[in-house]
């Protein structure tokens, strides 16, 4: 299978990227995501990343996002362009207000992420537009355990330093690219199981293997934090492995 690209920002395609050219010419939409970060009890980084990835999948699986649903047109327009995602943070009254807007809240072990139907790039709801993008620095109290070999794993690059918010958007991209490559039956099984997945940082040698494996690969446009074309995530879903 061919590697796929996903970006948080549009980028100028090369001469051999007609599909990229088409996507860039389409109206640009963004998937808003808000992570709850309370001062007194912030979530662990890996928990927040895994919850963000599941939130993207939960929205894609939701009846409102499917054909005939109230979000279907927005989701289609968003996927016709760059599948851009932006993560903002909220706490206290900000979070309570964010929860009043149409969307879905997905909970992890200690984390909460709310995902909303896509909106035009320059037309964020005012309640979300004023939320901060920065300040999503999170840490893991201990190294997460090795993932279950039967679960999908979103492998982060060991070569890049990203804020938690940036990484949440990237693993959301990775989860979505895996979803797009699965058959309808495989998607339904993953959805019925509650979208089990893990997010881990690959060892350097393993990362080199993953990026040349043909599994869905996320490349970033480089408008924020990292250089253009950086490989950020490989989506290692069991159904997409060549073994």
Q: Over the stretch 121-177, which tens digit does the pLDDT of each residue have? A: 888 999 999 999 877 789 999 999 989 888 899 999 999 999 999 999 999 999 999
- C-alpha to C-alpha distances, 200 to 54, 98, 236, nearest whole angstrom: 14, 29, 11
Helices (DSSP H) in the chain: which residue ranges?
Answer: 18-25, 45-61, 72-80, 92-98, 126-129, 164-181, 184-192, 204-211
pLDDT at 78 over 70: yes
Q: 133 phi and psi, to 5 degrees?
A: -85, -40
Query: In which band, very low, low, confident or very high, does the pLDDT at 243 lie, cut at 50, 70 and 90?
Result: low
pLDDT value of position 24: 56
Interatomic CA distance for residues 227 and 233, integer angstroms? 14
Query: In which band, very low, low, confident or very high, does the pLDDT at 223 lie, cut at 50, 70 and 90?
Result: low
Q: Is the dihedral of CA 164, 169, 172, 173 positive or negative?
A: negative
Averaged pLDDT, 18-35? 72
pLDDT value of position 18: 52
Q: 132 phi and psi, to 5 degrees?
A: -80, 140
Q: What is the residue extent of each domain of the chain?
A: 18-122+142-240
pTM exceeds 0.75, yes or no? yes
Assess if CATH 3.40.50.11900 describes domain 18-122+142-240. Answer: no
Q: Take residue 13 and report the two structure tokens written for it.
A: 């395609």
């Amino acid at each position: 299978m061919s590697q796929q690209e996903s970006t948080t920002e549009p980028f100028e395609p090369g001469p051999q990227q007609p599909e990229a050219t088409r996507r860039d010419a389409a109206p640009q939409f963004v998937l808003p995501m808000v992570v709850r970060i309370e001062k007194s009890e912030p979530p662990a980084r890996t928990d927040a990343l895994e919850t963000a990835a599941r939130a993207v999948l939960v929205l894609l699986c939701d009846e409102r996002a499917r054909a005939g649903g109230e979000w279907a047109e927005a989701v289609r327009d968003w996927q016709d362009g760059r599948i851009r995602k932006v993560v903002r943070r909220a706490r206290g009254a900000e979070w309570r207000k964010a929860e009043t807007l149409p969307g879905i809240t997905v909970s992890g072990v200690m984390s909460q992420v709310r995902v909303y139907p896509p909106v035009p790039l320059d037309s964020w709801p005012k309640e979300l537009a004023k939320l901060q993008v920065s300040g999503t620095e999170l840490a893991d109290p201990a190294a997460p355990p090795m993932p279950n070999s039967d679960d999908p794993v979103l492998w982060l690059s060991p070569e890049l330093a990203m804020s938690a918010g940036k990484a949440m958007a990237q693993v959301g991209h990775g989860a979505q690219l895996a979803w797009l490559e699965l058959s309808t039956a495989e998607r339904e099984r993953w959805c019925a199981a509650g979208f089990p997945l893990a997010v881990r940082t690959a060892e350097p040698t393993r990362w080199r293997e993953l990026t040349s494996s043909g599994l869905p690969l996320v490349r970033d446009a480089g408008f924020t934090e990292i250089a253009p074309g950086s490989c950020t995530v490989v989506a290692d879903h069991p159904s997409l492995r060549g073994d």
